[in-house]
A and B are shown apart, each in its own frame.
Chain A
Amino acid sequence: MSASPPPRATSATPDPILVLKGVSKTYATGLTALKSVDLAIQRGEIFALLGPNGAGKTTLISIICGLVKRSTGTVSVDGLDIDRDYRAVRSRIGLVPQELTADAFETVWATVSFSRGLFGKPSNPALIETILRQLSLWEKRDSKIMTLSGGMKRRVLIAKALSHEPNLLFLDEPSAGVDVELRRDMWDVVRGLRDAGVTIILTTHYLEEAEEMADRVGVIAKGELILVEEKQALMTKLGKKTLAIQLSTPLAAIPPSLEGFGLSLAAEGSELVYTYDTTAERTGERTGITRLLQGLAAEGLAFRDLRTEQSSLEEIFVSLVREAS
């Protein structure tokens, strides 16, 4: 068995906190931002909604949180309909919006306390203090929001969203315009929340971010949820890449010294094919390409050209990300 922690929630243990059925959205402009999305979010997981700008991530979150009217479909939280039982549903949800919008003239303390009241909870200064300390905002509690940097404003929005102790938290592009330090702090807070049982849905257009944080990943593009996968499974699928080495002189067999690489011969021996894992680098291992090329040189094998190919999913994804940036 591997030493990694057991998955918190998988499709094998269905206890969805959020269920979307056939949710679509066509804006007044005629633009269809979502095309019949079905999705179930498991209790206690961190779910990353991954997709380029304009894919419909914010629209999806906005529908669940009551900011945008859906065109079709149903949404339920804890089995409660978001329209019929909107009070019960909304008091469980916290939203950190993509845009940095906060009351410029208010103090940090006032605006976070306001949020708690708005969501129907009695005031609780001790809790607000804990939240502000966690987010390194305590020193700034009496500062007006307009005096804060962008990163600090993002923290304030997170504090506001946490002020009423939600058990379903939405983070829309949490790392947009955020420095490395805040990103680390934020991920610590998010993991802490997950450990405390909060379900987290975040959107991002960075594969790395989804990889670092999420238990499951949903890829969305042009309003369609293309796939939903356990992160591990997705990474394995996405990570495979092949390197085809076109040799100057065809080989009859793979030299014994190169056997450890799992190579295969193609194109009547004129091409050596090597399969490697692109995610290896990020997990601290090596792709092995350097060693392979050194091995080729040691064998005295000359090559004319190199070609890399990705799995089709990776291709899809890279093109998505390219569109995004």
Chain B
Amino acid sequence: MNIHAIKAIYVFEMARAIRTVWQSIVAPVITTSLYFVVFGAAIGSRMEEIDGVPYGAFIVPGLIMLTLLTQSIANASFGIYFPRFTGTIYELLSAPVSFVEVVIGYVGAAATKSVILGIIILITASFFVPLRLEHPLWMVGFLVLTAVTFSLFGFIIGIWADGFEKLQFVPLLIVTPLTFLGGTFYSIDMLPPVWRTITLFNPVVYLISGFRWSFTGTADVGIEVSLVMILIFLAVCHGAVWWIFKTGYRLKS
């Protein structure tokens, strides 16, 4: 294992985050805070409790997930897309590294940023809405696992994309709708039965449900189901990255 390479990539990517701190930390925190102000404090005060949880507190896990998913994908996809775009990828391809080092470096850095972001948003949220944390360890576990999984997913998108449009396409047109429809702002029990069934095909439902359970102790679907779903998705992404580096897909002509 080429530890020096992992360190070099990780440090490089974290330095990029620090350089672009407005874009990678400040902007998402402000956006999420606006949600808290509007839906949590303003509208939320006139909403009924859901499963005994005040509406403001109810939407916090969903909003953190929304940021976590979009930022993990954005960060990781850009991190690997940019060297492809500028041509500096030549160095990575000629280096004595396997996909393991590349993934730990790039995905590790993207996930680290997302986790930091998630924690900052959580702290910010506590200023606007009353928060309860039933299972803090599970919360951290879900946070890290989701950040890693979706950074890996973003990494794949960054390799698949052959233009900036495609790079933005997946987060904007797939992940954001799935997150909004995945129970960020409501419990799926509130849906008519048909829609509830359809919603169960949305993988983000399981993430938000599991994450919310770690806060409130109540969930739309079982916590084990949530965990298994994330792990399956993680395994699929891992397999895809392995295949990409084995075949040189979109990396080598």
Chain A contacts to B: CB under 8 angstroms: 27-28, 65-69, 86-91, 93, 95, 97, 99, 101-106, 110, 113-123, 160
Contact = CB atoms under 8 A, between A and B. Distances in A.
A91 B86 CA distance: 23
A89 to B, nearest CB: 8
Contact of B87 (A87, A99, A123): A99
Contact of B94 (A66, A101, A110, A114): A66
Interface stretch (B5-13, B59-67, B159-167): B5-13
B86 A69 contact: no
Contacts of B48: none
Contacts of A93: 94
B8 A118 contact: yes
A97 B5 contact: no
A65 B8 contact: no
Highest count of chain B CB atoms <10 Å: which of A69, A93, A120: A120
Contacts of A65: 90, 93-94
Contacts of B98: 87
Highest count of chain A CB atoms <10 Å: which of B7, B9, B90: B90
B19 interface: yes
B91 interface: yes
B91 A86 contact: no
B88 A117 contact: no
Contacts of B96: 86-91, 119-120
A117 B2 CA distance: 9
Given A99-B87, A117-B11, 14 more contacts: A66-B93, A67-B94, A68-B253, A87-B2, A87-B96, A95-B90, A95-B91, A101-B87, A105-B19, A118-B4, A118-B5, A119-B95, A120-B4, A120-B96
Interface of B: 2, 4-5, 7-9, 11-12, 15-16, 19, 86-88, 90-98, 248, 252-253
A68 B93 CA distance: 9
Contact of B15 (A87, A110, A117): A110
Nearest to A61: B94
B22 to A, nearest CB: 14
Contacts of B95: 90, 118-120
A137 to B, nearest CB: 17
Contacts, number: 83
Contacts of A67: 90, 93-94, 252
B250 to A, nearest CB: 12
Highest count of chain B CB atoms <10 Å: which of A67, A113, A117, A160: A117
Contact of A69 (B4, B87, B97, B248): B248
B94 to A, nearest CB: 4
Nearest to B20: A105
17 contacts: A65-B94, A67-B90, A67-B252, A68-B252, A68-B253, A86-B96, A87-B98, A95-B94, A101-B90, A105-B16, A117-B7, A118-B9, A118-B91, A118-B92, A119-B95, A120-B96, A123-B4
Contacts of B93: 65-67
Contacts of A87: 2, 96, 98
A286 to B, nearest CB: 46
Contacts of A95: 90-91, 94
Highest count of chain A CB atoms <10 Å: which of B8, B86, B95: B95
Contacts of A99: 87
B97 A102 contact: no
A114 B8 contact: yes
Given A67-B252, A69-B252, A105-B19, A117 B4 contact: yes
A212 B16 CA distance: 42
A113 B179 CA distance: 40
Nearest to B7: A117
